[in-house]
Each structure stands twice: as C-alpha cells, then as structure tokens.
Homo-oligomer: A and B are copies of this chain.
Amino acid sequence: MKRSILAALLLPLLIGCSFEERQSGGIEDTAVTPEMGPRKEIIQPEGVARLPVFSSAVRSGDLIFLSGAIGAQPGVNPPQLVEGGVIPETHQTMENIITVLDAAGATLLDLIKCTVFLADISDYAAVNEAYVQYFPSDPPARSAVAGSGLALGARVEIECIAAVPEV
C-alpha cells in the first residue's frame, strides 16, 4: 500500500525523464566534455538508462562513487522493484551494484565502504543475511540506518565507494 503510493508519486517524474537510451558503456572519455572537471569521469553501464538526476557512478582519482542502488529490475523502464520483499530486493540491489562496478572495471572485492539505507530497521537482520553472502571475506566498512522512505518504495538502498583496481 505504502509502496504503491510512493510509486505513484515517483513514477510520473521518472517517466517524464527523457531517458537517453545510450548503448555505450564503460568509462566515458571526459576529453569531450571540456566544461566538466577533469577529475570526474562518468561511469555509464551498458543497457542502463541514463537519468538526468544522477549518474550511475562517478570516478575521481582512485575512487569510484556509486549512486545508491535499489532492487530495480534491470532493463525495465519505468523502474520497477523486484517482487518478494526485502530479501529479493537486497539480492537485486547487489546485482545492480555489480553491473555498475563492472562498467568501471571493478568488482565487489574493490568495495571499501557501503551505506545501507533501510525503510524499516526490522529488516536489518534479513538484509545482513543476504548482504554478507556477497562478501566471503574482508567486507567493506559499512553503516546502516533506517529512514522513513526510499525512492520507488524500496525497502533497501545501498550506496558504495570502490577503489579503482590497480592494473
């Protein structure tokens, strides 16, 4: 119920976005955008809609800052959460993070810090149980906090910072 209200509130905005359905992926050549600071590279995963409001990730120096990810089904516009509640959403969120990392040439092993935003702190244990499966050892530093609402009525949103892997 709450979710459907939120979706109704948010979808008009999201639908209204003129998605540039870019087919190119990876790190963009910043040289073609002279007005942009040279220490800022936009990471745009292939097949992911480019939104006017935020970039999927931005690399600066040796760090990659990922936008908060939610459990939206890949390739579906307007965005739609996977069904089944917080556990499937957590898994999908992690998959979406992997997609963005991949476009930057990185993996989950390169994550150094994550923040988990929950819609309800009572999901904390369930999210942890799903989340920990992605980090068999040396997990990133992390904070977790519950708020009162997330975009699209998501139950979990995870934002991450990754280190650029050495080549």
A residues contacting B by CB (< 8 A) are 6, 9-10, 12-13, 33, 35-40, 42, 51-58, 60-63, 65-68, 106-107, 109-110, 112-115, 117-118, 120-122, 124-125, 128-129, 131-132, 135, 137-151, 157, 159, 161, 163-166
Cα distance A135–B54 in the bound complex, in angstroms? 9
Q: Main secondary structure on chain A at its contact with chain B? A: mixed
| Copies of this chain, count | 3
Known: A142-B68, A145-B117, A150-B121. A132 touches B53 (CB 8 A): yes
The interface residues of chain B lying within 8 Å CB-to-CB of A137 are: 33, 36
The interface residues of chain B lying within 8 Å CB-to-CB of A110 are: 37, 39-40
Partner of A54, one of B56, B68, B140, B166: B140
The interface residues of chain B lying within 8 Å CB-to-CB of A145 are: 68, 117, 147, 149-150, 157
Q: How far is the CB of A137 from chain B (nearest CB, A)?
A: 7
Known: A62-B61, A128-B13, A140-B58. A164 touches B117 (CB 8 A): no
The interface residues of chain B lying within 8 Å CB-to-CB of A143 are: 67-68, 115, 117, 157, 159
